[in-house]
Structure 1
């Protein structure tokens, strides 16, 4: 049967020969989208959630934050795989990704407003997990725009543009969140409505083509394994990148997730001092990371390497994280912000380019990018768990967080060094056909 002439011919990816000009709008769309989901998420997760928990159950705050993180990790992992998998096979006139990022934006608004209203720990867990599911309906499909619509030769540049928005969200979210420490509920509402903008703005800029021309997928055992299971073939580099980046990110998020408690219990600052130094530290992280995200991408292209910059980034993070071991004076946290910001700026500049290079199969890009993104979102969840375990084991002391996280960053960097970044591009092109 002939294909309906009103249905556009299907192209799942773009080859170098098909894209002479850099698709800057894809970088802008994904950068703004990342800013508007990540910034609000971290503003809540890193500042407002711990503050809300402290209001409700102050004597067990570290344990409750860890409980929320553990439950959210399970929800986020399942959501990344399942929603990413369905995104890869979605046929609609709006494309594969757009319906999911719109639905995720609306769902994130509603579930975060729900989380704001609950006052018991069990309901906080349920609402927070529901929010994780909706948030990851934005994350995995949004990242897949880079695979779908950016040719391999242009991915370094577009990844840097994406990183610019990601970095602002990564650190600016907590700066904004800190301004609402005296009005936690209001801050959560503001973050919820900012998240609502993420998917629609990205979708309007991208204007994703119809996916109605994509061949229909039939649910067979092989199809389920390919589209809804962790990759099993040609995946060594995939898993090295996943776990290496997970360790690097965990090193920073363990500090960020407990930043409020570190400043209050370890640095021993009052509420005013906490608000002041959260703003200073995160502004330092953001400014240095922005500078490096702009410069590190072109340098990485010139070096023709992703893994060397990532290892340098991991080393800078390790040194920065270890600095507060020297003293509980506030200046050590400022130095941490400077060095970790430099490191994470380099990391973010090449992160998505590295992700795209290790994908086992472009046909399952959203699912696999969603799994790789667990190194980012998953670390936001694992970090507080690691920190809580250290604090509990040391009877309330926060000192042990610093040497452990420095070690995690170094091990993660070493794992990235084992990635084969000269894989044959023809393998991905053949899989994309």
Structure 2
């Protein structure tokens, strides 16, 4: 009898990955987040303040415009490059070429952003950053279901989550310590380019043979990006819950610099952002790997995601009702505890509901829209709320309600415990 089971790149992984592979992939993941969050936490807001006077836009509206347009690019780029990596038959594998090209392109795009001389060049450069770094991120994410067996994905997701938050902290720290906008972008660009090297140089990727690649058809390629909620209800519910919780988080982060300056009247809001990010990172790191390992051991995902989402909603509401510097520190700490568990276990849950091995990169790219779309929706929601509908108190109450809805809806997923 002929063995028709998938082989090579399309086989369901059964051999546990080692610490070296996990560490190298986590470092590459963290490097990508440095390239994103150095700008998002500090540099874009600082540049916007330079360009806003005389433009007819407030700094809040201009920042919302730039980050929103960039997020639209991310919406398209992540599933597109995930699908392209699924079909790549290069000698180095189907993920590695995109990690290399994306990280190199992202570093160059950050240098272009450093030289922006106005809002239009700044927007165009940020869009290039989003395009290129999403190519690398899509490939890094898809490497997990390619190589990691299901009972180990919570732990690996935890280490990737730890690298993610360290990338956020590292990007914020580099942007703050560099002493200027241009040098901040240069520092983030260098780290992004160098951080992926241990993975691409020291670890082999799985290759897709030409015989395994599906026949090319533009119509079928485009149609493949639609994942029917009726055919894949668990994937649809998982996507929606991730979107809502990430939207809540995006609403918290978007105007954090301005919240500290204009509402809490911090003398050095840049330093305040760095302190809150560090507090959040410490508590996140305390739970992200532990939560993933615990989920693997008990063989359950949903309870961890539900209760971490509830905890984050409570912390977000605290920003609305306890608007002091100590309140912000407590909220940042509690958010870190919840987001740590959510980051690792939700990632494992997402890989558990993927429909098929051939399209892992594309399907995860579609799922990752739930990370990028909130960057579009958050400015559209936040700007009018802060300007016309009650300010930061209302903004954070709305964010808490959205996050709570996401946590509750996790219970609709049926195929994962």
Matched, 1:254 2:251: yes
Matched, 1:231 2:221: no
Cα distance in 2 for partners of 1:282, 1:184 equals 19
Aligned residue for 2:398? 404
Whether contact under 8 Å (1:69, 1:382) holds in the other structure is no
> After superposition, where does 1:25-424 map in structure 2 within 5 Å?
25-58=20-53, 60-180=58-178, 182-220=179-217, 223-225=220-222, 227=224, 229-232=225-228, 234-270=231-267, 272=268, 274-394=269-389, 397-422=391-416
1:15 to 9, 12, 17: 12
Deviation at 1:213, TM superposition (A): 5.0
RMSD: 2.2
Mind listing any 5+ residue stretches in structure 1 that lack a counterpart?
1-8, 424-433
Cα distance in 2 for partners of 1:140, 1:231 equals 17
The alpha-carbon distance between structure 1 residues 221 and 294, as it changes in their structure 2 partners (threshold 3 A), is closer
Whether contact under 8 Å (2:75, 2:372) holds in the other structure is no
Deviation at 1:268, TM superposition (A): 1.2
Aligned residue for 1:6? none
Q: Which moved more, 1:374-383 or 1:403-412?
A: 374-383
Deviation at 1:10, TM superposition (A): 5.5
Deviation at 1:174, TM superposition (A): 2.6
The alpha-carbon distance between structure 1 residues 308 and 322, as it changes in their structure 2 partners (threshold 3 A), is same
SS at match of 1:341: helix
Deviation at 1:150, TM superposition (A): 1.5
Cα distance in 2 for partners of 1:57, 1:348 equals 35
Whether contact under 8 Å (1:285, 1:340) holds in the other structure is yes
Cα distance in 1 for partners of 2:211, 2:339 equals 38
Deviation at 1:380, TM superposition (A): 4.1
Q: Which moved more, 1:378-387 or 1:282-291?
A: 378-387
Q: Which moved more, 1:204-213 or 1:98-107?
A: 204-213
Whether contact under 8 Å (2:302, 2:416) holds in the other structure is no
Q: Which moved more, 1:331-340 or 1:204-213?
A: 204-213
SS at match of 1:100: helix
Cα distance in 2 for partners of 1:308, 1:178 equals 38
TM-score, normalised via structure 1 length: 0.88
Cα distance in 2 for partners of 1:213, 1:221 equals 18
Q: Which moved more, 1:376-385 or 1:306-315?
A: 376-385
SS at match of 1:70: helix
Whether contact under 8 Å (2:8, 2:207) holds in the other structure is no
Aligned residue for 1:428? none
Cα distance in 2 for partners of 1:142, 1:374 equals 15
Cα distance in 2 for partners of 1:109, 1:221 equals 31
Cα distance in 1 for partners of 2:30, 2:38 equals 11
Q: How many residues are paired up?
A: 408
Cα distance in 1 for partners of 2:298, 2:379 equals 35
Superposed CA offset, 1:256-297 (max 9, x none): 221110000111112x3x233222211110010001012111
Deviation at 1:30, TM superposition (A): 2.3
Q: Which moved more, 1:70-79 or 1:138-147?
A: 70-79
Whether contact under 8 Å (2:245, 2:407) holds in the other structure is yes
Mind listing any 5+ residue stretches in structure 2 that lack a counterpart?
1-5
Superposed CA offset, 1:31-69 (max 9, x none): 111110112311211211111101211561111111112
Superposed CA offset, 1:327-364 (max 9, x none): 33211110111110000011112122111011122211
